[in-house]
Structure 1
Amino acid sequence: MAARAAGAVALRYWKGDYAIRDKGLGEGPVTEADLAVDRCLSDILRAARPDYGWLSEESAEHDARGATWRIFVVDPIDGTRAFIAGEESFAISLAVVEDGRVVTGVVYLPARDRLYAAVAGGIATRDGQPVLASAQAGVPGARILTSRANLRPEEWPGGVPDLRTGFRPSLAYRLCLVAEGRYDGMLMLRPTWDWDIAAGALIAERAGAVVTDGAGQGLVFNGSDPRNAGVIAAAPGLHADLMRHRLGPSASGETRKDGAG
């Protein structure tokens, strides 16, 4: 499997000596390992499916995706800062997108040899075993993966929800932790790149979570700008409660719950 082969490449660099540079423009660091994993995935996946398009954080081909019917969306190392720090919570994220929707998603944590996967219409699994999202009914007592910046009062016209929070550097891993019910939800309100969330969004949705953008709309991938307007993934009752806080007095009617991707 491509994810495991790429994981072996990542582990050859992890906790070792490798080149690091800053991408600039606030995009954070990239390492020699990120690029090596990207090459590994490209060699395997594009050889197997030469008719698919390619969108990767570390490949300068965003404008060469073309009009292919399906596209690989890849983050070679999601959580590069965790990787640099020698932490285990970095992930490799692989998705196949068709007509804006994710049809296959895989998130692999090489340092833990942990594999999450899902296909559209199927179940979500961790290491081959089914996983289910939380049944948390609302905000009170909910445990959410997020950062403090996402809980600024100006982001919550209906009042900042009182949440117990945790954090993981990798967005893909956060979505998988929601999928297996270890956290009730996760949220990121700034624009999020497709490669960070595509695979994890499908895994969380197939586990029973509701997955939308920050305004409650369905996620759409591989647009002209490969980003969504944030991501909120949570147990259905919790998601609805979060959207009441999020939209406040301006909310009208039900928020969409068909976004998963």
Structure 2
Amino acid sequence: MQAPDEGHGREEDRELLVAAVREAGRIALTYYQTKLKTWMKGSDSIVTEADIAVNDQLYRDLALARPGYGWLSEETEDDMVRLSRTRVWVVDPIDGTRAFAKGKPHFVISVALVEDGRPVLAALFNPATDEFFEAVTGGGATLNGEPIRVGDRAVIEGARMAAHAPMFKHPAWPEPWPEMEIIERNSVAYRIALVACNAADAALALNTKNDWDLAAADLVLNEAGGLLTSHDGKVLIYNRELPRHRSLLAAGPKLHEALMARVGLLTLPA
């Protein structure tokens, strides 16, 4: 008997994913730089009508087309049925909503297909800049159809770091950080994609992120020759009961090792 989440080939799923994410980008642009309806989710998370419209479209195009796959999205109530599924769509309809709401082009639509805890297909699309990142496990990563590769920087000083600048000035650091070029982007997934295409050298965050922030970007970076781990070097596993990660460190292998020497022994508050 065929399992409920089997029966579709990787290429079929890739074509479905790419078409859905491109359509999501088209929908997002109809709201971009317009007067948006917005509200707060929790104490500090903004949601816009565009997030919901894109989420609904992706659900129709992906979840309904693959009823045997699980679904995990920032804008859908979590359904623990996903834990029983081998394959799960992991979705952030708009990663970087604050930037999107302000009319800044620092956001992406982020979708991965996770299989047995790791992403196997990924698409990240910034429709405002027309940047479409795509990756297939074992098949490399591309930006607008062209192969991408991480840089080979090995030293922190002078690195282009995609991160929140005040983090590096915190008094708790035992020694000051060397001078770096800090690249601020509201979208975590976009920061990691910039590392993948060598527009940044590294990304670092020491606060909690969710599966939907990281899964697609993880595969894009990995297939571009980079590493995405927790700050202490652990590989990220997706589609767990609590789909969260305490930190992230993204870089090419040499710089990842140098950054691990500085942050790998940190004990972060629970």
In the superposition, the TM-score normalised over structure 2's length comes to 0.87
DSSP 3-state at the match of 2:258: helix
Letter in 1 for 2:73: S
CA gap of 1:214–1:249, structure 2 versus 1, over 3 A, is: closer
Residue number in structure 2 paired with 1:258:
none
State the distance in 2 between where 1:106 and 1:66 align: 22
Asked if structure 1 preserves the Cα contact closer than 8 Å seen for 2:83 and 2:239, the reply is no
| Residue matched to 2:26 | 8
SS at structure 2 position matched to 1:65: helix
The alpha-carbon deviation at position 209 of structure 1 amounts to 1.1
Match among 138, 161, 164 for residue 147 of structure 1: 164
Q: What SS does the aligned partner of 1:111 have?
A: coil
Residue in structure 1 matched with residue 68 of structure 2 by the alignment = 51
Would you say 1:107 and 2:100 are equivalent positions? no
Distance between the aligned counterparts of 2:48 and 2:64, measured in 1?
24
Structure 1, unpaired ranges of 5+: 251-261
Name the counterpart of 1:180.
Answer: 197
User: Quick one: which amino acid aligns to residue 21 of structure 2?
Assistant: A
Name the amino acid aligned to 1:127.
Answer: N
Q: Deviations over 1:53-97 (max 9, x none)?
A: 000000012434240110000000010011111111211000011
Asked if residue 203 in structure 1 is aligned to residue 220 in structure 2, the reply is yes
CA distance in 1, matches of 2:114, 2:197: 23
The residue aligned with 2:140 is 123
CA contact (8 A) 2:165 2:184 kept: no
Q: Cα deviations across residues 226-250 of structure 1 (Å, max 9, x unaligned)?
A: 0112111111111111111113599
Render the CA deviation track for 1:136-158: whole Å, top value 9, x for unaligned.
Answer: 0121221110003432343x55x
Residue 177 of structure 2 is matched in structure 1 by 161
Q: Is the 8 A contact 2:36 2:101 kept in 1?
A: no
Partner Cα separation in structure 2 for residue 153 and residue 95 of structure 1: 37
Aligned pairs (5 A) from 1:76-87: 76-87=93-104
In structure 1, the partner of 2:248 is 231
Say if 1:53 and 1:72, in contact at 8 Å, map to a contact too: yes
1:248-259 aligned at under 5 Å gives the runs none
CA distance in 1, matches of 2:91, 2:264: 32
Contact 1:97 1:104 in 2 (8 A): yes
Question: Is 2:19 the counterpart of 1:22?
Answer: no
Task: Kindly indicate whether the alpha-carbon contact (under 8 Å) linking 1:56 and 1:195 is maintained by their aligned counterparts in 2.
Answer: yes
In 2, Cα distance between the equivalents of 1:17 and 1:65? 35
Coordinate RMSD, CA, aligned? 1.6
Greater Cα shift, 162-171 or 180-189: 162-171
SS at match of 2:94: strand
Change (3 A) 1:52 1:242: same
Offset at 1:48?
2.0
5+ residue gaps, structure 2, are 1-18
Letter in 1 for 2:177: P
User: Cα deviations across residues 15-49 of structure 1 (Å, max 9, x unaligned)?
Assistant: 123310011233x1100110000000000001221
* Alignment equivalent of 2:50, drawn from 33, 52, 71: 33
CA separation in 2, counterparts of 1:142 and 1:118? 25
Deviation at 1:206, TM superposition (A): 0.8
Q: Secondary structure at the match of 1:106?
A: strand
Partner Cα separation in structure 2 for residue 178 and residue 164 of structure 1: 13
Q: CA deviation at 1:164?
A: 2.4
Q: Deviations over 1:170-224 (max 9, x none)?
A: 1111111000101111111111101011101110111111211111111111111
Whether 1:95 aligns to 2:112 is yes
